[in-house]
Structure 1
Amino acid sequence: MKVLGNRKRIAVLTTGRQDYGVLRSTVHSMHNDPELDMRLWVGGMHLKERFGKSRDLIHSEGIPIAQELDFLGEPPNPIEDSSRAMTMVGNVLVSESPDALLLVGDRSETLAAGMAATLATVPIIHLHGGEETEGAIDNAMRHALTKLSHLHLVSHPSYGKRVEQMGEDPENVVVVGAPGLDNRFRDDLPSVNELEDFLGLRLDDPVVLVTVHPTTLGLKDPVSEVMAVSDAMDKVEATYVVTLPNSDAGGAAIRDYWINWSKDRKNVSLKEVLGAGRYWSLLNYTKVMLGNSSSGMLEGPSAGANVINVGDRQFGRLRNSRIRDVGVNSAEITKLLEEAIQKDWLLEGEMRDWDFDERLVSQRIIEAIGKWNIDATLRKKFHSI
């Protein structure tokens, strides 16, 4: 084991806003833990002006950035970008020689980093394994990362069972919860006045937060979902905050559509990046989340918002009673949006599947890493059920 004294050197890779909000509390906890030498590697969308250059937000929080990995091309190309990511991550794995690499989720560049770590014989800690998104290619990459990983920190017992179904050692599957929910307990969130200044509009009730990402499996036209959503928005009076999509295939078409559609609409604020702080502050004033983002499965319900999940991108994820699924149909979305603004869906049924408890998940993650025998897990054995 390559350690500094008795400290474990853990590299943490973040590739954009989509995973830093999940990782933030863990990164801060690891940075402040005397038994860990946390090395933060920042790359991909974080470094691009087009995607809001969220690297600057990380820097403003006082967390040292050990490496900046500029592997995202212009325009983004998943095959070429992943190839560059694998090479760049491989190089810093050799130069920094961490004891383990912590990865979250399911993006192509994250899988590329996992491949690099496998070839460099660096154990992998994987967050949010075992989850399902049937409408996205992310699904295959998430499960592939599970098979490359050595310590599985999952968000729910059902997901842990799925990881074990893939032959992983139950001793190395730990249910820690969803670390992104730690943002609920921050005491540094922007005020409503600061939010309104940033967004450029008043947050008059009802506030609807909209995010539509490309559905990378099944749906041929990436704009069809966003057209159905925007048509419903035109019919239902509300204050709309729209966050632009990620760099997945089809994202550019959705981005261009929103930019053109939002012109001259005074009740719409269009933003590239909110940052975890503004995002969670905004959730406190949000009545409805609309779209197909994974944050609608977790963050939205935990903050008390009703969630309208459009299409099948998130099929397979656990849900609670604040979430309603709807097809890519403008009339159905409109009807559900009107209902979501008027009612509190949680009152219509008990919580199911998710129990949003009050303990910081980042502390469970630190505890699991502290107990983990890294050397004993590098050679993996398939565990049959």
Structure 2
Amino acid sequence: MKRICVVTATRAEYGLLKPLMSKIKIERDFTLQILATGAHLSPEFGLTYKHIEDDGFTIDSKIEMLLSADTDPGIVKSMGLGMIGYADAFTLLKPNAIIILGDRYEMLAVAAAASIFKIPIIHLHGGEKTEGAYDDAIRHAITKLSQLHFTSTEEYRNRVIQMGEDPDRVFNVGAIGLDNIINQQVLSKQDLERDLGVTFKKYNYQITFHPETLAEKSSKEQFEELLTAIKQQKDSLFIFTKANADSDGRIINFMIDEYVKNNPDHAIAFASLGSVKFLSLLKCCDAIVGNSSSGIIEAPSLGIQTINIGDRQKGRVQASSVVNCESSSSAIIQAFDQVKQYKKENVSLTNPYGSGNTAEKIYCLLKEKLNQRFEAKAFYDKL
């Protein structure tokens, strides 16, 4: 029986991994292990490990790593604390493989530790580009530490192979986040209004803005531009979900709290909504605004617009529903106008990240590939 350890550090990451975790949990040949770390264990970010437990999963290891500082030294020290904890967890759990998703610094520390323990790494969402954040380099580093790759488009699969990975270990399965959209029953507009304590207006927007960690303009300056643009939108409701635990994330969250306090008539904020409420909200909104990958990957499958601000997602494959703009108030205001016009045109959307069923594809490949021995990797030189 193979022990498969799924590692998760954030609310968004868990929401994506949940369908795959559910399949592994019921497989007789697998034992699901869960390692929760990072923002999951922080009261400031909503203690979202409780969402995992509320969904019926058992967390096998909780690794505290997050410092209260969101400075660059604080992030690096958090990574160091994480690696100490991961060493203890891997010694105890002895997983046969670990599953990690994406490009966050918590996962780089996990991948480095697992490599020293000679634990095969299964990586989701490799090969993508996000040129406005240091996550881009982290994602590619994790690719080189991993033995099995599940990408979300064929272009990304080719990029992983271009990085010297064996094509026989790289599979285009689509974006796993689309499984929730297809399989999860969302709340009605009325139930969502009751649960969130809001009354929807003529226009409704979900706002998620994370630090753009490689930008010359500070996170504070960028977010001020967004708030300036928001103030110009009439008859609109803005539902903020707070920034993640990246460098300067707390600055954004402080500004959100101040804005909501001063504008309770058209703004509300949440540290975390959970998968069901988040998808329900997206379905009720006119657009998702900010720089979250949800606006690039999940939103098109719900038929809603995205206002993608700045360069944090620059380089990712995009649907026609994504409106890109600079992080200036004038450009963001223009994007709001464009979104309203697009809604009137009611253009049908095609999502380049597939149509779902990704967890099932990964699950079937895991059953096949984990029965094979992972030899030491050789660099694949494409002729």
| Deviations 1:144-183, CA, capped at 9 Å, x for gaps | 0000000001111100000000100000001111111111
Query: Any stretches of 5+ residues in structure 1 without a counterpart?
Result: 1-6
Which of residues 214, 236, 251 in structure 1 aligns to 2:249? 251
Quote how far apart the aligned CAs of 1:193 are.
Answer: 3.3
Verify: 1:239 aligned to 2:237, yes or no: yes
Task: Please list the CA deviations of residues 300-322 of structure 1 after superposition, one character each: whole Å capped at 9, or x if unmatched.
Answer: 11111111111111101000100
Q: Measure the CA separation in 2 of the matches of 1:378 and 1:89.
A: 23
Among residues 80, 88, 95, which one is paired with 2:77 in the alignment?
A: 80
How many angstroms apart in 2 are the aligned matches of 1:131 and 1:236? 33
Aligned to 1:337: 336
CA distance in 1, matches of 2:210, 2:190: 28
- Please give the secondary structure, in 2, of the residue aligned with 1:376: coil
Aligned residue among 110, 115, 119 for 2:116? 119
Instruction: Determine the C-alpha separation between the residues in 1 that align with 2:61 and 2:204.
Output: 38
Question: RMSD of aligned C-alpha atoms?
Answer: 1.7
Which of 198-207 and 323-332 deviates more?
198-207
- 1:192 counterpart (189, 194, 205): 189
TM-score normalised over the length of structure 1? 0.94
1:226 to 218, 223, 231: 223
d(CA) in 2 for partners of 1:192 and 1:92? 42
**Is the alpha carbon distance of 1:220 and 1:188 closer, same or farther for their aligned partners in structure 2, counting shifts above 3 Å?**
same
Pick aligned residue for 2:38 from 41, 44, 56? 44
Q: Distance in 2 between matches of 1:203 and 1:348?
A: 23
- The Cα shift of 1:83 comes to 0.7
Distance in 1 separating the partners of 2:349 and 2:195: 36
d(CA) in 2 for partners of 1:326, 1:236: 17
The one-letter amino acid paired with 1:86 is: M
- Residues 1:9 and 2:7 are matched in the alignment: no
How many angstroms apart in 1 are the aligned matches of 2:164 and 2:344?
38
Find the partner of 1:58 among 44, 52, 58: 52
2: CA distance between counterparts of 1:137 and 1:296?
19
CA distance in 2, matches of 1:314, 1:39: 31
1:93-104 aligned within 5 A: 93-104=90-101
Q: Report what 2:262 is aligned to.
A: 264
My pick for the range that moved more, 212-221 or 342-351, is 342-351
**Aligned with 1:214: secondary structure?**
coil
Number of residues of Structure 1 aligned to a counterpart in Structure 2: 377
In the alignment, is the contact (CA less than 8 A) between 1:201 and 1:267 conserved in 2? no
- Contact 1:292 1:314 (C-alpha < 8 Å) held by counterparts: yes
Range 181-190 or range 10-19, more displaced: 181-190
For 2:259, what is the secondary structure of its paired residue?
helix
In structure 1, distance between residues paired with 2:68 and 2:338: 41
Counterpart of 1:102, as a letter, is I
1:346 shift after superposition? 8.0
1:205 corresponds in structure 2 to 202
Provide the C-alpha distance between the structure 2 equivalents of 1:75 and 1:218, rounded to a whole number of angstroms.
Answer: 20
Q: For 1:178-189, what aligned pairs fall within 5 Å after superposition?
A: 178-189=175-186
- What code does the residue aligned with 1:311 have? G
Q: Cα deviation per residue 1:51-76 (whole Å; 9 max; x = unaligned)? A: 01111111111111111111112234
Distance 1:58 1:189, change over 3 A: farther
In 2, the alpha carbon distance for the partners of 1:21 and 1:209 equals 17
Distance in 1, Cα, partners of 2:3 & 2:187: 33
CA–CA distance in 2 between the matches of 1:362 and 1:67? 23
> Partner of 1:210: helix, strand, or coil?
strand
Distance of 1:46 and 1:23 partners within structure 2 = 14
* Partner Cα separation in structure 1 for residue 175 and residue 64 of structure 2: 28
Q: Cα offset for 1:220?
A: 3.9
Within-5 A mapping of 1:153-168: 153-168=150-165
Residue 355 of structure 1: CA displacement? 5.1
Unaligned runs of 5+ in 2: none
Q: Which amino acid aligns with 1:325?
A: N
- Give the aligned residue type for 2:228: D
Give, in angstroms, the shift of residue 345 of structure 1: 8.3
**For residue 166 of structure 1, what is the amino acid of its counterpart?**
M
| Residues in 1 aligned to 2:22 and 2:151: alpha-carbon distance in whole angstroms | 19
For the pair 1:298 / 2:292, whether they are aligned, the reply is no
Letter aligned with residue 273 of structure 2:
L
Partner of 1:142: 139
